[in-house]
Every structure is written in structure tokens, then in C-alpha cells.
Amino acid sequence: MQTQRTRSYSQALHEAIEQEMTRDSNVFVMGQGIDDFKGMYGTTKGLVERFGPNRVFDTPLAEEGMTGIAIGAAMAGMRPIHTHIRMDFMLLAMNQIVNIAAKSHYMYGGAISVPIVIRSVIGRSWGQGAQHSQGLHSLFMHIPGLRVVAPTTPYDAKGCLIASIRDDNPVMFVEHRMVHFQTGHVPEESYTVPTGQARVLAKGDDVTIVGISHAVVECMRAKVCLEQVGIHAEVIDPVWLSPLDVDTIANSVERTGALLVVDSGWTFTGASAEIVAAVGERLQGKKVFKFQRMGFAPVPCPTTKNLEKQYYPDAAGIASSAFSLVRGSKEHWKPEIVDAPEILEFKGPF
């Protein structure tokens, strides 16, 4: 038996960038601090030595302007990867992303295209607080003309990033800080993960649990707990949030009759609302299903640990919700606290 090649999520991203930059001289990376010793959480480390400062460079603090600059370079035929250490900063670049990147191909009747990848990190970790921990993928899902992808496994990280770089359209590439440390199988060769295809991470017949970004890691832990009480959950990672693979989810729900969506973001008018509504559309007249949405508490993220812990859905809470969904709302059960090592072990300051 061949041993699997194991890499971390960060390493997988690094490898994707390195391979694509080698393959295509139009690919370049820009972002605040990407050429420093931390190298964007290690994902861009050493690239400047390899590819030189024209293709790997630090930028001024100017999110809107630098996004426009990346877009302009893309219009000229290059393929920029623009990185942001926090997704919260994307709010400064919304105009260029939504009014220019997302619209140009359509608005100009196909005359130009904007092949740009915007990487940003959902910053949950170590009391980052209200302005450094937002998962804002739902905002981008709402905008036609943008692709949104939020891979969670190292395998998908590499394959989705390569697919995003090769995509001729703007892609919002969402990385959760807490999945950067996950390890898993990553083939050495170059490969792409198909756009708009969800991944069934675990099979089960009793309830469909959809987890977005880091939440899906907690969903997998919840699944293990649920097995102990005889509930077999199917766990689905949508991977691509736009286009969203509604079929895979709806087919599962048609079988299980129950849907739990757990987001790494707020629920109100967010991805979880879309998933529920879209599955409902597919199944209406065919199958009545029970459902529930979970996500961040509907407030900005507090820094203090005890409130922060309540702020996020955790494996125990997910398992408990799935239990009630399957057994009926009058039945309650909650497993003991389930360890989330990536969260327990993470230490700041950053």
C-alpha cells in the first residue's frame, strides 16, 4: 500500500500557488505583508525568492485601490491572486469587487473578463473581536458574477485554488483561520476540484448536516457523537458557495427528511437561508423535511472567552440540534463537550 502524502491546508495553498506560478507567468500574488517572514500564514513563504518581487509583492494599505489594481491587471490578461489576512477588510473593497469585478464581463457584453482570485481569512481565533472575525461570504454569494468558494480540507484547498486561478472570472476564496492547521491527503501533482460541486464527507440516512467552512469540521465531530446515540448523519461540505450545488444537498435531504445547516457566519439573510430555501424549492411537492439553521450569534463577535464560546456553534451544540431534529423537538440530548483541538490549542497573539 502506498502511504498517502500528507500536508496541511496552508501547505496545500502554498503548493497550489507555486505550481500555478510555475505553469503560467501571468499568475502573480500581491497582498499586505505576503513577502514577510510570516508569509500570509505560511501560504506565500519563500515565493518572492523563487519568483521575484514583480510577481510576489507587498502592497500599500489600500484595499479598494489595490483591488482595482488587481482587476486592471486581470483586464490586461494577468491572473492576480490578492490576499487579505482578514475577511473584514474586504468591506473596504466592495465597490471594486461588486461594481467592477463582478459586472465587467456582462456589462461590456463579454468584451473583457476579470480572472482574479481574492483570498481572505475568516479570523476566528484568540479573541479577535468584532472587526477581525467576520465570515462575510454570504455578502458575496448575493452578487451575480462572483464565484465564492470556501474549501475546508487540504485536498480541496489545493484543488479549489488551482481551479480559481484558472477560472476566467472573479473568485472570492474564503479561508477560515481554524482550517489552516488541518492536515490531510494532498497529491503532489497539479489538479483542480470541479467548480460548483459539493462534497459528501460522511454518509448517513437520518439527517443531512451541511457545514460551511470551519463549521463542517465541527459537524464531523458532531457526527461521531451522534453515532453513539444511533443517529447516522450525512455530512456535506458545499465547498463552492456560488455556484451552489443544491442537487447534492437536496438529494440527501430527500432521503433523510431532515436538514441542519451550520454556517461560519450569521444566519439572517445568509448562506444558510439560501440553502434552506433552495432545498425547499427542489423538494416542494416531493418531500416535507424538518430543518434548522445555526450560525454565529446575531451580534458582533465579543472578545471575552466565555461569550465568544457561546457565539460560535460547536460540535456538542450541533449534535444536540441534530438529535432534536431527528427525534422531535421534545427530545433533548447533548453530548459532553467535544474537543476542538484547533481552537483549544490556538494561541495568539494573532
Partner 1 sequence: MIDRLFRSLFLIRRVEEEIARVYPSDKIMSPVHLSIGQEAISVGVCATLRPEDVVFGTYRCHALYLAKGGNLKAMIAELYGKFAGCAKGKAGSMHLIDTSAGVMGASAVVSSTIPTSVGYAFAEKTRGKDTVVACFFGDGATEEGVFHEALNFASLKKLPVVFICENNYYAIHSTESARRGGPEITAMAQAHGIPAIKLEGMNIEEIIQSVGKAVEEIRNGGGPRFFEIMCYRWKEHVGPNDDFGVGYRKKEEAEPWLANDQVQVVGNKLSEEDRRRIEIAVEAEIAEAFAFAESAELPPDSELLSDIFRTH
Ligand X SMILES: Cc1ncc(C[n+]2csc(CCOP(=O)(O)OP(=O)(O)O)c2C)c(N)n1
The site map against a copy of itself for 299-328 (x = CB under 8 A) is xx-x--------------------------
**According to CB under 8 A, which residues from 113 to 172 bind partner 1?**
113, 126-132, 144-145, 147, 168-169
End-to-end CA separation in angstroms for the chain:
41
The catalytic position among 14, 15, 20, 63 is 63
User: Among residues 4, 144, 168, 229, which is the contact residue for a copy of itself, using CB under 8 A?
Assistant: 144
**Site residue total, a copy of itself (CB under 8 A):** 51
Least Cβ distance, residue 131 to partner 1 (angstroms): 4
Nearer to partner 1, 187 or 243 (CB): 243
Which of 201, 139, 197 has its CA nearest to residue 163? Answer: 197
- Taking residues 81 to 120 in sequence order and writing x for each that binds partner 1 by CB under 8 A, - otherwise, the string is -------xx--x--xx--xx---xxxxxxxxxx-------
Among ligand X, partner 1, a copy of itself, none, the one that 20 touches (CB under a kind-dependent 5 to 8 A) is none
Helices (H), the chain: 9-23, 47-51, 63-75, 94, 104-107, 137-141, 154-166, 215-228, 246-256, 271-283, 305-311, 315-327, 341-344
Instruction: Give residues 49-78 in contact with ligand X (rule: CB under 6 A).
Output: 61, 63
- The DSSP annotation for 305-318 comes to HHHHHHHS--HHHH
Beta strands per DSSP E along 75-133: 79-84, 117-122
Task: Say how far apart CA 254 and CA 186 lie, in whole Å.
Answer: 32
Partners of 237 in beta bridges = 199
Grid cell listed for 59: 502592497
288 makes contact with partner 1 (CB under 8 A)? no
CB 147 within 8 A of CB 168: no
Q: Which positions from 234 to 263 touch a copy of itself by CB under 8 A, shown as an x/- string?
A: --------x-x-------------------
Q: Does 89 bind ligand X (CB under 6 A)?
A: yes
- The answer to whether 277 contacts partner 1 (rule: CB under 8 A) is no
Residue 63 annotated as catalytic: yes
CA angle 24, 36, 190 (to 5 degrees): 30
CA gap 310, 301 in Å, rounded: 10
Closer Cβ to ligand X, 100 or 340, answer by number: 100
> CB-based contacts of 52: which residues, under 8 Å, 6+ apart?
none
Of residues 1, 3, 61, 228, which one binds partner 1 by CB under 8 A? 61
The residue ranges that bind a copy of itself (CB under 8 A) are 64, 88-89, 91-92, 94-95, 98-99, 102-103, 106-107, 129-131, 134, 138-139, 141-145, 242, 244, 266, 268-274, 276-278, 280-281, 284-285, 288, 290-293, 298-300, 302, 329
